[in-house]
Every structure is written in C-alpha cells, then in structure tokens.
C-alpha cells in the first residue's frame, strides 16, 4: 500500500478537532504536525485529541509550513487569514484542504487558486456533505428524467440558534476575522446545495431578501436570497444564527421531488435518510394523495468528514506517487459557490437590488 498522506493542522480551532478525528479514521491519511500561535497550545491540542506522541507541535504557522515531511495542510483559520496562509502553504508545495467559506471574496480565492495551480498542489474546501454516499444516491434520482424530470425549484435553509456567548465572542461575528457572518458560515452550505441540485449551472441573477439582521458591527446574523436562471428555474435560501437548528433541502422537478432535513450534518453518523416521490397526484374527489413519498436510508462505514479526507488524500497520493495533475473539479466548485455568495452580499449592500452573476 502507498504511504498515508501526512497532514499538518494549521490552527487549533474547534472544527480542527472534528477533522483530526476524521484524519485518524481515514485509511490513507495521518497527522504529523500541529501548528498554532503558541507551541503550548499546539501541544495541548495534540494531547487533548489523542494524536500520536510523535506529532510535532509548532509555535507558528510558518514553522509547520517549513516541515518538509508535511504533504498537505488543513486550514481551519478565520476566513480573513485564508488568503495569506493558503498562498503561503501552496508556495511551500503543500496540498490544501481549507475550511469554508474559502475566502472573503472571489478575488481573494482566485489568488489562492492561482498559487495552487502554479505550484501543482491539490485544492479542496471543507464542505463535507457532498462526500457522503447519500449525496450520490440523491444525484442519481435528480439526473433521472423519468423520475425527476427537469429542475424547477430549490429551497434550502441552514440555521443554528446561537447563544449569547457565540453572538458576542465567536469569530464568525467579528468583523476582523470572519466578516461574512452567517452568509459565509451557513449560507455557503445553502448555495453549494443549490448549485449541486442545478448540476453546478450558475444562476443568472441573485436578489437578497430585504431586512437582513445584523449585529452592532454590521455583520450578518440572518439573511436570505433568491437565485434565478434564464429558463425560469428559481432557488431560495435562508441562513441564520438566530433560528432553531435546521438543515432543510427541497429540490423540485417537473416529475419528482427530493427532500431531506439534515443535509449539512446527518442525524446519525453512519446512516442518512432522504425522501423521494415521483408523479404524485390526487385521489378521486381530492380525498388524498397518490404516489406517496418513500424514505431512503444510506449507510456508510466512515462519517462524511472522513470520506472527504479519504478522497482528498487519494488525489494527493496520485499527484505525489504517480505524477498526476491536481483534480480541477474541486476548485471549480469552490469558485462557483464563492461567486454566488459574493453576488448575494453585493445585493445586500446595494439595498436588495438584482445583481448579475458572472462566473
């Protein structure tokens, strides 16, 4: 077997704990280094997360990037730091798995992607749910013209009810760290889901809903938007730090529907449900429905975050061991998501005017 891909964790954010576990579960990846702003914090992260005693702690991000044994880095840093450290990592020849949102704007992301292409390194963002086998099964239904038909509408909701400590202190509500707020943190999921449902065909325009809720610093706590395609297809989404935990996705075609209530994080780690229905209609005298929805449950041995690590590591391994080129699919999907996110943000800034989406 090929040697596992050796990861360095750049930053000790809470999400890095989940990804560290995912790397340990992955059959083709291992953690060899952790970098933080202090070596003590890196050592504590290694101990708290049960990483091997051989894992090297670094008291700066630069020191980790200088470690020649590190093949790839996971970057769970605040979004405002992505440009600097992703470009630096690519310059050191490190393959990059980066948290979402990928950047503050598409112009920043383009600089990151250019650095990755120049240095021949793989790029992937940390959108985990697309790697779950449920996603592939739903996609089979969506692409079946006899069962689903043509895409007509998509509705997506991603919300969490944040407590007062989060709303006052979390990096996601700090202008100097993550200025995109709920739009970047949760809206990213909604937009990616909508693009996935449309086979990643970009909408033509975005229109933000009026009256988004912002904090005193002007960061978005709750917002939504509609997206429009030239053929009349429409999508809507809502993202919020102020509403009950919700991850709803409904995809409506001319002949069928796919729906699920846990699209970002499945209710259970090793199984994930969704419902489908085709050619519904009413019974005689409209006393009920014909063709009722059926529930599908998709099992997986590895959680979706470990499957993401496994796929990323497979791509890195092919580059490292076989001289393959980086897979371009993942940077393309990240960029399309960022482009739409930017358009929604622009619509909010322009008092909810329609904004053309240019890929």
Catalytic residues: 100
Q: List the structure tokens of 284.
A: 């005689």
Q: Are 296 and 132 in contact, with CB atoms under 8 Å apart?
A: no
Q: How far apart are CA 260 and CA 178, in angstroms?
A: 29
Strand 5-10 versus strand 72-75 pairing type: parallel
Nearest Cα neighbor of 119 from 154, 73, 55, 52 is: 73
Q: How far apart are CA 305 and CA 132, in angstroms?
A: 8
Q: List the structure tokens of 51.
A: 């990483």
Count CB neighbours of 282 within 10 A.
10
In order of 45, 288, 289, 290, 294, the CA distances from 284 in angstroms are 64, 8, 9, 10, 21
Q: What are the phi and psi torsion angles at 272 (to 5°)?
A: -145, 130
Residues 6 or more apart whose Cβ sits within 8 Å of residue 162: 170, 241, 242
- Angle between the N-to-C axes of helices 133-142 and 188-197, in degrees from 0 to 180, rounded to the nearest 10: 40
């Amino acid at each position: 077997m090929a040697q596992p891909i050796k990861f360095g964790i750049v930053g000790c954010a809470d999400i890095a704990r989940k990804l560290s576990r995912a790397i340990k579960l992955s059959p083709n990846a291992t953690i060899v280094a952790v970098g933080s702003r202090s070596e003590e914090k890196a050592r504590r992260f290694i101990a708290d997360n049960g990483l091997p005693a051989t894992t090297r702690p670094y008291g700066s991000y630069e020191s980790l990037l200088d470690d020649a044994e590190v093949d790839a880095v996971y970057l769970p840093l605040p979004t405002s730091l992505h440009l600097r450290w992703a470009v630096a990592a690519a310059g050191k020849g490190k393959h990059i798995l980066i948290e979402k949102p990928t950047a503050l704007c598409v112009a920043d992301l383009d600089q990151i992607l250019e650095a990755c292409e120049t240095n021949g390194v793989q790029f992937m963002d940390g959108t985990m749910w697309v790697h779950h086998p449920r996603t592939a099964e739903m996609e089979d239904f969506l692409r079946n013209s006899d069962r689903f038909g043509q895409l007509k509408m998509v509705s997506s909701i991603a919300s969490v009810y944040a407590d007062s400590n989060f709303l006052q202190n979390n990096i996601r509500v700090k202008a100097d760290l993550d200025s995109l707020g709920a739009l970047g943190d949760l809206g990213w999921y909604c937009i990616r889901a909508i693009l996935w449902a449309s086979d990643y065909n970009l909408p033509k325009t975005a229109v933000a809903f009026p009256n988004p809720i912002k904090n005193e610093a002007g960061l978005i706590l709750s917002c939504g938007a509609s997206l429009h395609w030239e053929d009349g297809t429409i999508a809507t989404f809502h993202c919020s730090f102020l509403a009950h935990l919700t991850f709803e996705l409904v995809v409506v075609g001319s002949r069928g529907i796919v729906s699920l209530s846990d699209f970002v994080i499945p209710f259970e780690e090793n199984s994930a449900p969704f419902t489908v229905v085709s050619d519904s209609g009413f019974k005689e005298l409209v006393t009920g429905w014909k063709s009722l929805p059926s529930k599908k449950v998709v099992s997986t041995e590895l959680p979706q975050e470990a499957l993401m690590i496994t796929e990323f590591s497979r791509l890195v391994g092919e580059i490292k061991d076989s001289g393959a080129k980086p897979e371009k699919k993942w940077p393309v999907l990240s960029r399309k998501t960022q482009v739409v996110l930017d358009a929604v943000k622009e619509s909010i800034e322009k008092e909810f005017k329609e904004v053309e989406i240019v890929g």
